[in-house]
């Protein structure tokens, strides 16, 4: 995937990469003639080829750079008289600028149409989510652990107590059935997953005690809650310190109870700040902070999962089941992947998981896990509306992962096996697929997340 060598370059087309040698490119061939060569390789006519550089550099923010279209009739510094390799090298140098970090690049070839434009936008949105996830590194974990804001010992003790109660219950059941003679000592605690039990306790603590859902912020001056959204604003220098992507601006009701003041509600993307100080927000803030809380509780692998219909949650890896387990802090729900489709009534398209706490971009398409199999045919239609050609969009996810040194996977079937550690949450585990619980009722209804539409008898 490296394109630094003058003797080769990598061309990404569809879902795979082609490594082209200098002989295949031609030392003095113009870019226009080289496009004819690309046509022979890919079947895309020269006048329909959208050619651009995609580069990943570790010391850039964001790390991924997608260059503008390269044309032989002007635009970027690509001239007919220049050898193709020299022109391509100049275009890549301009894209990366003075970056010093390690870089990986590929020349991307797409068909110039509306579908490809959607696919590029799709890849950039996935990158935005990964940028949230990459902030959850070991340094962030240690910073929060030192603050003491997460009651780790309390959560772990509660999890162990709950597991012990399950063991005692099983021993009593076996004794009552006449199998007590076969039991020698206590049931091995290692056979029940402590990690899942800790996640259950963390879900309860996070939602009930620690984090606050914000529909509209209350006025800090007069306490009035009747505020209305008046627009968006760029973050101030102070708000940008905690990675505020945008700021919602509200107006306090200028009534007898209100004061008419303008209120700012920054949408922060700093998980450490959100978990230790901010402690409020909507699903994006909840997922980031909760994922970091799980890492502080020594849950070894956690990742963010988001759908393109505007919700985000977490998953943790179960060693005993060898599978990723769904955990939504907003709903205090464990292992209910069909909650959104069947409970909320959402028509999901793409569901993408982004690995937490690594420098590389580790992605997995989880759409078939969170969408029931009967919804897969219509899912494909929605995916095309969002990201254009599905094979091209999937190829771009592979490209993003490969350039960063990560991996991309596709989950090809739904999670139908009940993980053995699900019993760790006992009778309080959320089993009913209910409409959305987090947020104001009118807001939930406006998003179509108040349950599936009634069917005619």
**Both 310 and 264 in a single domain?**
no
What angle, 0 to 180 degrees and rounded to 10, lies between the N-to-C axes of helices 194-205 and 283-296? 140
Q: What is the rounded CA–CA span in Å between residue 383 and residue 255? A: 46
In terms of domains, do 154 and 16 share one? no
| 409 flagged as catalytic | no
Count how many domains the chain has.
Answer: 3
Q: Are 260 and 209 in contact (CB under 8 A)?
A: no
Alpha helices per DSSP H over 372-440: 376-387, 390-404
- C-alpha R_g of the chain: 26
Last residue of a domain, one of 68, 91, 112: 112
Q: Which of 77, 112, 147 is a domain's end point? A: 112
pLDDT of residue 433: 85
141 falls within a domain? yes
Residues 346 and 446 in one domain: yes
Based on the domain organization, do 161 and 82 belong to the same domain? Answer: no
Where the chain has pLDDT below 50, the residues are 1-5, 74-78, 180-191, 416-431, 457
254 occurs within a structural domain: yes
> Which of 307, 328, 365, 389 is labelled catalytic?
328
* Mode of pairing for the β-strands spanning 363-365 and 333-334: unpaired
Residues 277, 292, single domain; the answer is: no
In angstroms, how far is the first alpha carbon of the chain from the final one? Answer: 56
CATH of the domain at 269: 2.20.25.10
For residue 213, the SS3 value is: strand
Q: Domain ends where: 255, 281, 307?
A: 281
Q: Quote the DSSP letter at residue 247.
A: E
Residue that has been written with the tokens 């922060």 in this structure: 268
- 49 and 106 housed in the same domain: yes
Active-site residue (options: 57, 193, 283, 361): 283
Q: Does residue 407 sit within a domain?
A: yes
Residue 10 region, left (φ>0) first, then alpha (ψ -120 to 50), else beta? beta
**Does a structural domain hold residue 204?**
no
* Residue 445 to residues 156, 286, 370, 407, Cα–Cα distance (Å): 37, 21, 21, 37
Asked whether residue 244 falls in the same domain as residue 299, the answer is no
Catalytic residue among 311, 326, 361, 389: 311
Is 202 part of a structural domain of the chain? no
Report which of 85, 132, 147, 57 is spatially closest to residue 403, judged by C-alpha positions.
Answer: 57
CA pair distance 365, 351, nearest whole angstrom: 6
The predicted structure's pLDDT at residue 151: 97
Q: Does 311 participate in catalysis according to the annotation?
A: yes
Residues 147 and 98 occupy one common structural domain: no
Judge whether 3 lies within some domain: no
Please tell me whether residues 272 and 291 are part of one structural domain: no
CATH of the domain at 405: 3.10.620.30
Q: Residue 198 falls within a domain, yes or no?
A: no
Q: What integer pLDDT is reported at residue 294 of this predicted model?
A: 96
Distance from C-alpha of 196 to C-alpha of 334, rounded to nearest angstrom = 9
**By residue range, what is the domain housing residue 344?**
117-192+286-452
Tokens representing 37?
A: 């060569």
70 and 26 together in one domain: yes
State residue 89's pLDDT score. 79
Please tell me the distance from the alpha carbon of residue 128 to that of residue 322, in angstroms, as a whole number. 28
What lies within 8 Å, CB to CB, of 322 at 6+ separation is none
Answer yes or no: do 409 and 319 share one domain. yes
Nearest to 348 by CA among 366, 330, 326: 366
pLDDT at 3: 41
SS3 content of the chain, % helix, strand, coil (to 5): 40, 20, 40
**135 tagged catalytic:** no
Distance CA 311, CA 436 (A): 11
| Residue 110 parent element (H or E) | strand 103-111
pLDDT, tens digit, 9 for 90 and up, residues 42-82: 899 988 999 899 999 878 878 888 988 887 554 444 455 56
Q: Which CATH number covers residue 103?
A: 3.10.20.90
Q: Do both 243 and 322 map to the same domain?
A: no
> What is the DSSP pairing of strand 302-307 with strand 311-318?
antiparallel
Q: Looking at residue 20, what is its pLDDT?
A: 82
Q: Is residue 381 part of a domain?
A: yes
Starting at the edge strand found earlier in the chain, the sheet holding 323-328 runs: 333-334, 323-328, 311-318, 302-307, 351-355, 363-365, 408-410
The three-class DSSP label of residue 252 is strand
């Amino acid at each position: 995937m490296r394109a630094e060598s003058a003797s080769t370059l990598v061309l990404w087309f569809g879902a795979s990469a082609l490594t082209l040698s200098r002989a295949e490119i031609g030392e003095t061939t113009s870019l226009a003639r080289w496009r004819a060569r690309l046509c022979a390789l890919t079947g895309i006519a020269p006048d329909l080829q959208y050619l651009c550089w995609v580069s990943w550099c570790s010391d850039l923010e964001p790390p991924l750079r997608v260059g503008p279209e390269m044309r032989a009739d002007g635009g970027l510094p690509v001239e007919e008289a220049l050898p193709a390799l020299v022109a391509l090298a100049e275009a890549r140098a301009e894209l990366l600028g003075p970056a010093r970090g390690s870089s990986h690049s590929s020349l991307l070839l797409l068909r110039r149409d509306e579908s490809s434009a959607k696919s590029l936008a799709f890849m950039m949105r996935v990158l935005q989510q990964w940028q949230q996830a990459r902030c959850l590194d070991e340094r962030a974990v240690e910073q929060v652990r030192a603050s003491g804001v997460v009651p780790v010992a309390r959560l772990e003790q509660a999890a162990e107590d709950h597991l012990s109660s399950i063991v005692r219950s099983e021993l009593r059941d076996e004794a009552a059935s006449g199998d007590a003679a076969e039991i020698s000592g206590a049931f091995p605690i290692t056979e029940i997953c402590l990690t899942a039990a800790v996640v259950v306790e963390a879900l309860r603590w996070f939602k009930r005690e620690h984090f606050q859902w914000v529909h509209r912020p209350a006025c800090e001056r007069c306490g009035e809650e009747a505020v209305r959204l008046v627009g968006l604003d760029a973050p101030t220098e102070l708000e940008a310190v905690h990675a505020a992507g945008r700021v919602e601006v509200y107006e306090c009701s200028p009534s007898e109870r209100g004061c008419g003041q303008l209120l700012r509600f920054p949408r922060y993307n700093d998980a450490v700040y959100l978990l230790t100080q901010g402690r409020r927000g909507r699903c994006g803030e909840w997922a980031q902070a909760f994922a970091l809380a799980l890492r502080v509780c020594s849950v070894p692998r956690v990742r963010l999962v988001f759908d393109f219909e505007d919700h985000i949650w977490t998953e943790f890896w179960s060693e005993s089941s060898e599978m990723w387990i769904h955990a939504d802090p907003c709903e205090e729900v464990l292992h209910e992947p069909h909650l959104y489709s069947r409970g909320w009534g959402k028509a999901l398209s793409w569901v993408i998981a982004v690995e937490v706490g690594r420098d590389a971009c580790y992605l997995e398409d989880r759409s078939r896990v969170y969408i029931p199999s009967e919804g897969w045919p219509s899912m494909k239609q929605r995916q095309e509306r969002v990201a254009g050609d599905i094979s091209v969009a999937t190829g771009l996810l592979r490209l993003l992962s490969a350039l960063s040194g990560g991996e991309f996977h596709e989950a090809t079937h739904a999670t139908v096996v009940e993980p053995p550690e699900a019993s760790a949450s006992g009778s309080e585990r959320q089993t009913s697929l209910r409409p959305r619980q987090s947020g104001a009722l009118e807001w939930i209804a406006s998003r179509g997340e108040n349950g599936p539409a009634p069917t005619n008898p």
